[in-house]
Structure 1
Amino acid sequence: MKQSRKDDFREFAAGRAGHLFRSACLLTSGDVHLAEDLVQETLGRMYVKWGRLSRIDNPAGYAQTVLVRTFLTHRRRRSAAEQPLGALPDAAADGDGDPALRLALLQALRELAPKDRAVLVLRYWEDRSIDETAAAMNTSSAAVRTRSVRALAKLRERLGGSLAEFAAR
């Protein structure tokens, strides 16, 4: 890889790493160690293909797609079923906002299936369209719409009355 391409990749990675990490934290329900691993793997895959990415209009969007697919692949592995013990770390993906609400949302996200989590993060955190989400998850638009509705219903059910108590603050 030529030096200018390496410099371009370094600049891209430095600029996108924080955003990728925040998205990965949401996908992993606050598991910052797994989120870091996913970001590293994503950036590694991007580095390998960086010279060929000149044909891609939106490398940042492509990186998000690689991140989601890496997460879904990780969830399919046998070792992904291992769950660490202990409480959530004090530091969350975003330092602003209500910590109790953030922890409740992360807990509710953790209880969702990985694909439900991915569709919610892509649609509502990343603010992607249905078609963009479908492309990132390698599924149909109809499947994304159905999964979005069901995942939101599950999330509301898990949050139950606790969402009303946060809104009352």
Structure 2
Amino acid sequence: MPGEITDFAEFVEVNLPRLLRYGHALTGNPHDAADLVQTVLEKIGSRWPQVLRKTGDPLAYVRRSMANAHISRWRRHRRENLVAELPDSPTLVQIDPFEHEPLWQALRDLPPRQRAVIVLRYYEGLSEAEIAASLGVAAGTVKSQASKAIATLRGRLRGDEEVEGRKPV
């Protein structure tokens, strides 16, 4: 097909910024996003010719792989790791400028599947059908996950906007 990217290196070069943005929105920080993108691209790169043959849209396949990998990682590591003592000296950590934004915090707290749907819909601008294809789910699942996520975001943001000390009526 004319205009189709068949070389893996070219695919990565063209789509890397988009994949990193998607990964950042999924994971909540740029470091985990880079790890997620690298992990998925390593796996897909080793079987790139099969991916091209079997999928009609390799970008959708990569997005679905990223969402699935993120969900798997989240399930494995969602428990807190407690330590007996704090380190003697603080480590230098790059501060995420969106860390204290209410919308970003609420988005980060969504379950991974809901976050993926919201990110693909409103951040990447994909249609419900494209999201369903990217995540490998039915269009109805996309609609229900989006509805639940939006309701959760609205509730959390309403709570953030309340005046301190006042309870909702």
Q: Same fold by TM (over 0.5)?
A: yes
Greater than 6 Å deviation, 4+ residue runs: none
Unmatched 5+ residue regions in structure 2? Answer: 1-5, 83-90, 162-169
Please tell me whether the aligned partners of residues 63 and 135 of structure 2 are also in contact (alpha carbons under 8 angstroms).
no
Letter in 2 for 1:133: I
Deviation at 1:91, TM superposition (A): 4.4
1:14-163 aligned within 5 A: 14-29=13-28, 31-55=29-53, 56-77=55-76, 79-82=77-80, 89-91=94-96, 103-160=101-158
Q: Percent identity of the aligned residues?
A: 34
Query: Which is richer in helix?
Result: 1
Aligned to 2:88: none
Tell me how far apart the structure 2 counterparts of residues 40 and 141 of structure 1 sit (CA, whole Å). 28
Please tell me whether the aligned partners of residues 67 and 135 of structure 2 are also in contact (alpha carbons under 8 angstroms).
yes
Superposition TM-score, scaled by structure 1 size: 0.72
Unmatched 5+ residue regions in structure 1? Answer: 1-6, 93-98, 164-169
Tell me how far apart the structure 1 counterparts of residues 144 and 22 of structure 2 sit (CA, whole Å). 22
Tell me how far apart the structure 1 counterparts of residues 109 and 60 of structure 2 sit (CA, whole Å). 27
Deviation at 1:50, TM superposition (A): 0.6
Larger radius of gyration: 2
Calculate the aligned-residue CA RMSD, in Å: 2.9
Superposition TM-score, scaled by structure 2 size: 0.72
How many positions carry a matched residue from both structures?
Answer: 147
Deviation at 1:142, TM superposition (A): 1.5
